[in-house]
Structure 1
Amino acid sequence: AMSHSILLIQPDLRYLDGRIWADYDSIEACLDGVCRVFEEHLKTSNPQAPTITYDIAQLFDFIESLGDLSCLVLNRPSGTYVPHNKDWIKERLYVLLRKQSDGM
């Protein structure tokens, strides 16, 4: 089932204006969004690198380095958004990326 999700990222807790958010039609798209943010970060850090490659450990380190990262998932029956923390996001990413690598 598609669950509307909102991704909230605050790179550094000291700077509130650095907050970014994005919304997605599904949890999977939201998790994909986390990977995209990390990929952008890698491109910015390594502008001369021809391709961007990383492993799940680097992705998890990046998630841990963020001041705050949460995913709000719409609970349709109640019409409210349920917040999920970094650990939940990492758990879901692990499963998603495993599925993707098995499918290749």
Structure 2
Amino acid sequence: MSLEDKRHTIVLLQTGRDKSSRTFSDFDSTADALTGICSMYEKLLRELNPHLAEMTYELDDLFAYLDRLPEVSMLIYDPSLDAYTPHTRAWVKKAALAQLQGLAAPMR
């Protein structure tokens, strides 16, 4: 599966210890879902550092954020199965790395 594939993707998160912090977000594609996860992290950084006009972070910072969440996974629609396939936190991190590397690639 390529990240360019337009497959409906559901992100499942638990942001705190309490099960009531479980949430989900759905996206038109896996790439959009990964961008959404990065946006959530960036929003948290802005909330924690409201005095900073600009913020930067490293991939390791994003991964540490994902590792601190009690639950992170994705369900990606597979049309050949007509079902959603689950993907683990480790897979999400690998996919985020691949997407960010693609964004950082020099334009030709």
Identify whether the pair has TM-score above 0.5, normalized to the shorter chain: yes
TM-score between the two structures when normalised by the length of structure 1: 0.93
- Residue matched to 1:6: 10
AA paired with 2:53?
A: P
TM-score between the two structures when normalised by the length of structure 2: 0.90
In percent, how many aligned pairs have the same letter?
29
1:43 lines up with 2:72 in the alignment: no
Residue 70 of structure 1: which of 68, 73, 78 is its match? 73
**In structure 1, how many angstroms separate the alpha carbons of the residues matched to 2:88 and 2:18?**
20
**Which consecutive unaligned segments of at least 5 residues does structure 1 have?**
none
CA RMSD of aligned residues (A): 1.1
AA paired with 1:67?
A: P
Which aligned segments of 4 or more residues in structure 1 are displaced greater than 6 angstroms?
none
Deviation at residue 11 of structure 1 after TM alignment: 1.2
Deviation at residue 37 of structure 1 after TM alignment: 0.8
- Residue matched to 2:31: 28
**Which consecutive unaligned segments of at least 5 residues does structure 2 have?**
none
